[in-house]
Amino acid sequence: MRFSTTSRFLLLLAALSVLPGDLARAASPSLGSITPRGAQRGTTVTLLFSGARLDDAREILFYSPGFAVQKLEVVNVNQIRATVAIAADCALGEHAMRVRTASGISELRTFWVGALPEVAEKEPNSELATAQKIPLNVTVTGVVDNEDVDYYAVECKKGQRLSVEIEGMRLGNTLFDPYIAIVDSKRFELATSDDHPLLGQDGLCSIVIPADGLYYVVVRESAYQGNGACAYRLHVGTFPRPQAVIPAGGKAGEEIEVTFLGDPIGPIKQKIKIPATPGVKYGIHAQDAGGISPSAIPFRISEVGNVVEVEPNDTPANATASPGPVAFQGVIDKPGDVDHFRFQAKKGETYDIHCYARRSGSPLDPVMTLSVLGGGAIAANDDAIGPDSYFRITFPEDREYLLSITDHLGKGGPTYFYRVEFQPVRPTATLSIPKVSLFSQERQTITIPKGNRMATLFSVGRANFGGEVAIVPEKLPAGVTLHAENCAANLDVVPVVFEAPVTAPEAGVLTPVGLRHADPKHPPIAAAFSQQVELVTGGPGQSVYWAPSVSNLAIAVAEESPFAIDIVEPKAPLVQNGSMQLKIVARRKPGFTAPITVFPLFNPPGVSSASAVTIPANGNEVLLPMNAAPNAQARKWKTAVLGVSDAGKGPIWVSSQLATLEVATPFVVVANLSRSAVEQGKETEMVCTLQQLTPFEGTAKVQLVGLPVHATTAVADITKDTKEVIFKITTTKDTPAGIHRNLFCQITLMRHGEPVVANSGYSELRVDVPIVKTTPPPPPPAAGTPPPAPAAAPPKRLSRLEQLRKEQEEREKAGNPAPPPATPKK
């Protein structure tokens, strides 16, 4: 809610147009929060969705399975209540959702699912003496106020495992960096945690209870800077809470045994079945008789199997041997440890070698070095991807190679795990919708009014391939069609228009989006749509603290819009260094009179336009000024414009059709526009030499633009054969003296009944104050004393320049030496 308001506001400022106040509020609909922030799986909970304009809610769109809405009630215009059954096998952790209403789709918000029953915090619990007693194996929901410290007392038995994990920053509410600790009744800290690489700013602790008794779990903001928005979910129980897993990935579809490390009880072995699709985001939870760990450890799904290190492998001589480039697994288990792997590779094979450490939640800051076995290093990297290492290598010959991994600061420990993957180089792409403004959720979803259109830009990040590609959403709401050209090979954005017939049912989908190469013989591209939602940002600068990302695009068909807009497709081209007025017309339903603001969606390379124009209230058309740079790429493009207006229920967005806009080379250009000088009240000439590029019919007008006030000249008419135009410039004594730069020619010709306007040439006109002859200059300066000359310099330079001009004029055979007879006083 906060982001969208801000971004909208900025957008409007940028648009430089006045919109009705209503529009400046929020998207329609808008979702600010979901409360409570989480629940136990296997239960049915009532969730309150708060925001704005939610009263026509139709459904909740869940990005992950495990939720069934049993009842959806409207509380008021800004709140709805949903009774949701959470499946017993619902994945633990973060889940993303949106509200779809009759008019559109809300922002994405998150919800957390846990395995334990919930207990609410009861103040006062800010001192050890007033600690809140809780049973084991619960999730406490609480808030850390400013300088607040929350204490929870829990009765434990000797030998029992006591694990604590907090969801604070991850709840995505606000910049809340929690600190947790387990202390005994004598206030000795048995474990503390501020940040953990697995959990970002959130923490985890786990100990084996040394003696029967009361133990305390402490929660506070790490710098005592809490506030009412600093809500947390604190899991306290006997569940396993390991901090590492070996291997941290495996071959898709296989069943393997993994070992969880870092749990106080010791390594936990667990059999897992790896999903069948490589590359998807996946995580595994440790589970034993004590319960299940609340957060997963990331787990990579690969196409190849694992080689787990065999200690000792701390020198090249005892390197763990691998049959080939697969996935290497290990732990930098003590400070200064270096792990080595040797493997055979073939000449010419190219791999992306990734070390997954911090990306998998390991504290390791890996440094990875590849060398020829028994020889020198051929590649090394420290921090290519965050703290993780990556490089691409083409093996120079058939032989054995050595890969070594260590910590950048020479640290190490039992949970410093890593996974090195050799990934064959294949075409991949990431798709996204460019943000309207930084960290905004604005227009990141598609809402198409029935019988209308909506458009968006897609950003295409190509890796390991090039060429034209088409955007292919996996599914669309019933009846919806997509209009788009291929994304040009030299561009990474493409405009796409979605259209819904008036008969289409109101519905919403969350869909993956793929890519198809224009060349049917091109190998398939592994494309993934990604939408990152920056829920928590803060200093320094605008840093992102928590930003879940989803891989599905939300598209919905909404109720009809009271207006539609169309581009009147131009028949004449927009020429390089030229301009055009793009006409946009509105179709209004009877009774809808509000102004409609029009935003260009896509400007082809080298083309710029006004950032917004407005169709006035009751008006039906507007012109969007467009300009092309001299280097604008000449070709036919497809583009669209967006229109937004308010029909009394928040903004409604629609788009025009996908129209053709041609950028072309100009028909005629100015080869040279002479510079000129004139005394106030006198006349002068400017000679304009033309270069004809493409023959045109009829006459064109050439206008000299940029003359100072009180200086005039006539518009010249030219044909396709004109070579030169002479502008006679008349000045008066009021023409301002000085050099007037930015004079240019504007050439306007008609094409298919529409004007083609191009600018060309550049020159300047100097206007001088007439020299008064009655003041003889002081004794002329002797030969060559440049330093003391500033006072005498202007007249001297003046005559020289004019002489030069004269010579030039003579050269151009403009036998009319009219200009300046004054000043000779050498």
Partner 1 sequence: MKDTMSRLLIALAVAGSLASVSQANEPAPTSLQVFPPDVQLTSSRSQQLLVVQAGYADGLTRDVTAKAKLTLANPALAKIDKGIVTPLADGATELVVEFGGQKVSVPVKVKDAKLDRPISFKLDVMPIFMRANCNSGGCHGAARGKDGFRLSLFGFDADGDHYRLTREQPGRRINLALPSESLLIEKATGKVPHTGGARIKEGDPYYNDLIRWMEAKAPNDPATIPTPVALDIYPRKAVLDGKGETQQMTVRATYSDGSVRDVTSLALFLSNNDNSAKISENGLVTANERGEAFVMARFATFTVGAQVIVLPKGLKFTWPNVEEKNYIDTLVHNKLKNLRILPSEVCDDETFLRRVTLDIVGLLPTQEEYTRFMSSKEPNKREKLVDELLGRKEFAELWVLKWAELLQIRSSQQVSYKAMLLYYDWLQDRIARNVPVNEWVQELLGASGGTFKNPATNFYQAETDILKVSENVAQVFMGMRTQCAQCHNHPFDRWTMDDYYGFAAFFSQIGRKGTDDPREVIVFNSKSGEVTHPVTRQQMKPKFLGGAVPDLKGEDRRVVLARWLASPDNPYFATNLANRVWQHFFGVGIIDEVDDVRISNPASNPELLAELGKRFTAYKYDFKKLVRDICTSRTYQLSTRTNPSNEGDTRNYARAYLRRIKAETFLDCITQVTETKNKFPGLPNGARAVQIADGSISTYFLTTFGRPMRETVCSCEVRLEPTLSQSLHLLNGDTTTSRIASGNLIGRRLAENKTPAQIIEELYIRCVSRRPTAVEMERLLKLVDTEKDKKQALEDVFWSLLNSREFMFNH
List contacts with partner 1 (CB under 8 A). 147, 177, 194-195, 197, 200-201, 222-225, 358, 365, 383, 386-387, 408-409, 538-541, 543-545
Identity of the residue, 146 or 277, whose beta carbon is nearer to partner 1 in the bound complex: 146
In angstroms, give the least distance from the CB of 94 to partner 1: 18
Phi and psi torsions of 511, nearest 5°: -130, 145
In angstroms, give the least distance from the CB of 224 to partner 1: 6
Map tokens 């779990």 to a residue.
217
Give percent helix, percent strand, percent coil of the chain, each to the nearest 5: 5, 50, 45
In angstroms, give the least distance from the CB of 197 to partner 1: 6
In angstroms, give the least distance from the CB of 540 to partner 1: 5
- In 227-318, the DSSP E strands lie at 231-237, 244-246, 249-251, 255-261, 268-273, 283-284, 287-288, 291-292, 297-298, 300-302, 306-308
Cα separations in angstroms, 582 against 513, 637, 660, 663, 749: 32, 14, 11, 13, 17
Measured CA to CA, the distance from residue 780 to residue 792 in angstroms comes to 9
Measured CA to CA, the distance from residue 311 to residue 658 in angstroms comes to 62
Identity of the residue, 169 or 765, whose beta carbon is nearer to partner 1 in the bound complex: 169
Residue 662 is encoded by which pair of tokens? 């041609």
Identity of the residue, 151 or 727, whose beta carbon is nearer to partner 1 in the bound complex: 151
In angstroms, give the least distance from the CB of 147 to partner 1: 5
Give every CB contact of residue 583 below 8 A, 6+ residues apart in sequence: 567, 568, 570, 621, 622, 623, 624
For the chain, the distance separating the N- and C-terminal CA atoms, rounded to the nearest angstrom, is 75
Q: Which DSSP string corresponds to 765-810?
A: EEEEPPPPTTSPPSSPPPTT--TT-TTTHHHHHHHHHHHHHHHHHH
In angstroms, give the least distance from the CB of 239 to partner 1: 24
Parallel, antiparallel or unpaired: strands 428-432 and 526-529: parallel
Identity of the residue, 346 or 408, whose beta carbon is nearer to partner 1 in the bound complex: 408
Cis? peptide before 29, omega within 30° of 0 = yes
Identity of the residue, 240 or 298, whose beta carbon is nearer to partner 1 in the bound complex: 298
Cα separations in angstroms, 503 against 103, 281, 651, 715: 16, 38, 23, 55
Identity of the residue, 49 or 151, whose beta carbon is nearer to partner 1 in the bound complex: 151
Torsion of CA 48, 54, 59, 65, to 10 degrees: -50
In angstroms, give the least distance from the CB of 262 to partner 1: 17
Measured CA to CA, the distance from residue 129 to residue 746 in angstroms comes to 84
Measured CA to CA, the distance from residue 147 to residue 596 in angstroms comes to 49
Q: For residue 355, which of 208, 244, 248, 475 has the smallest C-alpha distance?
A: 248
Number of H helices, E strands in the chain: 2, 72
In angstroms, give the least distance from the CB of 254 to partner 1: 31
DSSP state of 398: S
In angstroms, give the least distance from the CB of 201 to partner 1: 6
Cα separations in angstroms, 176 against 2, 34, 218, 392: 17, 17, 15, 38
In angstroms, give the least distance from the CB of 550 to partner 1: 22
In angstroms, give the least distance from the CB of 227 to partner 1: 12
In angstroms, give the least distance from the CB of 534 to partner 1: 12
Identity of the residue, 69 or 223, whose beta carbon is nearer to partner 1 in the bound complex: 223
Residue 455 is encoded by which pair of tokens? 């458009």
Identity of the residue, 161 or 358, whose beta carbon is nearer to partner 1 in the bound complex: 358
Torsion of CA 15, 460, 172, 45, to 10 degrees: 110
Identity of the residue, 219 or 319, whose beta carbon is nearer to partner 1 in the bound complex: 219
Identity of the residue, 200 or 467, whose beta carbon is nearer to partner 1 in the bound complex: 200
In angstroms, give the least distance from the CB of 267 to partner 1: 25
In angstroms, give the least distance from the CB of 196 to partner 1: 10
Measured CA to CA, the distance from residue 340 to residue 490 in angstroms comes to 42
In angstroms, give the least distance from the CB of 408 to partner 1: 7
361: phi > 0 → left, psi -120 to 50 → alpha, else beta; which?
Answer: left
> Which residues are paired to 560 by β-bridges?
none
Q: What is the CA radius of gyration of the chain?
A: 36
Measured CA to CA, the distance from residue 613 to residue 625 in angstroms comes to 9
> Which residues are paired to 285 by β-bridges?
none
Measured CA to CA, the distance from residue 494 to residue 488 in angstroms comes to 8
Identity of the residue, 541 or 648, whose beta carbon is nearer to partner 1 in the bound complex: 541
In angstroms, give the least distance from the CB of 332 to partner 1: 15
Torsion of CA 348, 352, 357, 361, to 10 degrees: -150
In angstroms, give the least distance from the CB of 173 to partner 1: 18
Residue 155 one-letter amino acid = E
Identity of the residue, 337 or 566, whose beta carbon is nearer to partner 1 in the bound complex: 337
Identity of the residue, 155 or 195, whose beta carbon is nearer to partner 1 in the bound complex: 195
Identity of the residue, 54 or 199, whose beta carbon is nearer to partner 1 in the bound complex: 199
The three-class DSSP label of residue 2 is helix
In angstroms, give the least distance from the CB of 149 to partner 1: 9
Identity of the residue, 296 or 757, whose beta carbon is nearer to partner 1 in the bound complex: 296
Identity of the residue, 175 or 765, whose beta carbon is nearer to partner 1 in the bound complex: 175
> How crowded is the C-beta side of 382, counted as CA atoms within 13 Å?
4
Identity of the residue, 185 or 543, whose beta carbon is nearer to partner 1 in the bound complex: 543
Map tokens 């809470």 to a residue.
241
Contact 359, 371 (CB under 8 A): no
Identity of the residue, 315 or 543, whose beta carbon is nearer to partner 1 in the bound complex: 543
